[in-house]
Structure 1
Amino acid sequence: MVQEFKDARVALTIDGTALEVSAIHRDGEKAPIVFLHGFGSTKEDYADIVRHAQFDGHAFLAWDAPGCGATHCADLARIDIAFLLETALAMIDHAGFERFHLVGHSMGGLTALMLAHRHPQRVLSFVDIEGNIAPEDCFLSRQIVDHARASDELFFDDFIARTRHAPAYASALYAASLRHKVRAQAVGPIFRSMVELSDHGDLMGKFLGLPCPRLFMYGAQNATLSYLDSLRAQGVALAQIENCGHFPMYSNPVAMWQAIAAFFTASASRIRSSTRD
């Protein structure tokens, strides 16, 4: 029998800012999986884990990041990657997860990288779905610099229009829900922190320095990323998702879940050894 996910609301205070976080979760006897969604997305990107038998028995947790989805944040101007990191740690601790698999997409991949870098002993494996690890990854977030406007609302309006017509898989689908999934006042602080970290945060060094098994997942439309060969040469597993750009969970979700499951299987012996240490 499929064990469906449950809904939860968690009250937190992060750096003096009140949050009410909307989450989904499932209990299980196998190692938990923590999911972090990307900018403009929500926890429901990962709800279909319960439809894929390869993950039966795994506990999991996903939530709407502050400024996104059904999560309430009392001060949207406070939201940056550091704030999202502290929120993630608080949610993981609230769930009681000591060690866990980590999956993050885009903004969530960057947040997950910062988490794994701070607490490498807690992360069993890391699936990075086009999370920022180099300056070239700021194709969305750098628009806050390249297309600056006089107000949050004007920038967001223009951002949605550009995204709607971008020549990439799922761009129009993604753009259609942005206004419903993100508060405009949160966009600037999030994007500026993503650009700053991508340009000056040694993200590649942090990623390559992680001791856990790592998978970098990317859409076939982004197979020209300059660092892919270097990642492979340095022991990072790669998964190219066909018929896909930046959003495998929208363009080719079955292939996304299959790639994650295959990575878990391939990494199982190393993960078991790490768990015994």
Structure 2
Amino acid sequence: MKTEFQTTSVPLRIADTHLAIAAVHRDGQRAPIVFLHGFGSTKEDYADIVRHAAFDGRAVLAYDAPGCGETCCDDLSKVSITFQVETALALLDRFEIERFHLVGHSMGGLGALLLAHAQPQRVLSFTDIEGNIAPEDCFLSRQVVEHPHDDPEVFFSRFIERTRHAPAYASALYAASLRHKVRAQAVQGIFRSMVDMSDHGDLMNKFLGLPSPKMFMYGEQNAHLSYLAHIERHGVRLAEIEQCGHFPMYSNPARMWEKIGDFIALAEDGHAGNPA
């Protein structure tokens, strides 16, 4: 059976905590793409990149964030967005990736933004798939404030049930695997840090201030986001995905890959600004 990408476990130590990062990667001659998945998702969201000819010859790295998927973390109480960014930077160094195209979804979009803000010279382009850049983006994570519970298992179970019945594309599909993809003990730390950064982290200015070409991808159900026209005026390319809510990789993956491929090609040709 042909192996189109490699799987590996990478030992790291972040903030005095031992990690074994589960990753998929592929070597290539073209500049690499690094993927940071969203809350409740895993590295496999992006494994289908090997099925799309637009990415032939391109190096790829995707991995399970601490508290998620097959990654092991000795102390789940340490997990936060800041912890995830530190993990991403250490993993880039371990794979000797210097400059790269960056793709982040939701939680991973927020982490990717902070990574790009910390080391902007390394990012060739940034595709932000509904990553947090404003307080209104905390429609999932703010449940830690709106529906609090001291027991992490109870909180997560109730979160899953609310998500299952949310009136958006792929909500039930997403909810069905949440318990298998996220450790309950990591959920509230992730959510609290997301809310705090979205409310107080000056994310919009950080996002607009990035020097690399930027694309913001969103589902048509979220075309109401108040800042879309604002970021477009500031040079961000918009990509609306049809028949989709928050999860283009589940609802309309073919369109998602098409948009990402086109944007990266434009970025490398120097034409990734807003279309006329």
- With the shorter chain as reference, the TM-score category is over 0.9
Aligned to 2:139: 139
Amino acid in the other structure paired with 2:171: S
Q: Distance in 1 between matches of 2:158 and 2:74?
A: 26
- 2:122: which partner in 1? 122
1:162 alignment partner AA: R
What is the aligned length? Answer: 271
Alpha-carbon distance in structure 1 between the residues aligned to 2:12 and 2:82: 15
1:3 positional shift: 6.9
| Aligned equivalents of 2:201, 2:157: Cα separation in 1 | 29
What SS is found at the alignment partner of 1:93?
helix
CA separation in 2, counterparts of 1:268 and 1:100? 11
The CA RMSD measured in Å over matched residues stands at 1.2
Supply the distance in 1 between the matched residues of 2:149 and 2:192 (Cα, whole angstroms): 14
Structure 1 segment 161-180 matched on structure 2, within 5 A: 161-180=161-180
Give the aligned partner of residue 242 of structure 1: 242
Q: What residue is the counterpart of 2:41 in the other structure?
A: 41
Question: Aligned letter for 1:79?
Answer: V
**Other structure's SS at 1:102 match:** strand
Counterpart of 1:249 in structure 2: which amino acid? Answer: M
Unaligned runs of 5+ residues in structure 1 are: 273-277
**Which shifted more, 262-271 or 185-194?**
262-271
Q: How big is the shift at 1:270?
A: 2.4
Q: C-alpha distance in 1, partners of 2:187/2:56? A: 36
- Please tell me whether the aligned partners of residues 169 and 251 of structure 2 are also in contact (alpha carbons under 8 angstroms): yes
Alpha-carbon offset, residue 266 of structure 1? 1.9
> What amino acid is the match of 1:265?
A
Give 5+ residue unaligned stretches, structure 2.
none
Contact 1:42/1:68 (<8 A) preserved: yes
Q: Which residue of 1 aligns with 2:203?
A: 203
**What percentage of aligned pairs have identical amino acids?**
68
- Partner Cα separation in structure 1 for residue 90 and residue 201 of structure 2: 23
Aligned to 2:86: 86
Question: Aligned with 2:270: secondary structure?
Answer: helix
Question: Taking structure 2 as the reference length, what is the TM-score of the superposition?
Answer: 0.97
Q: Tell me how far 1:247 sits from its aligned partner.
A: 0.2
Asked if the contact 1:3–1:26 (Cα under 8 Å) also holds between the matched residues in 2, the reply is: no
In the TM superposition, structure 1's runs of 4+ consecutive aligned residues that sit over 6 Å from their partners are: none
Letter in 1 for 2:81: I
Q: Using the alignment, how far apart are the partners of 1:73 and 1:138 within structure 2? A: 25
1:225 is aligned to 225
Q: Secondary structure at the match of 1:139?
A: coil
Contact 1:160–1:178 (Cα < 8 Å) also in 2: yes
Look up the equivalent residue of 1:241 and give its one-letter code. Answer: I
Q: What's the counterpart of residue 77 of structure 1?
A: 77
Q: Any conservation in 1 of the 2:109–2:128 contact (CA below 8 Å)?
A: yes
The TM-score normalised by the length of structure 1 is 0.96
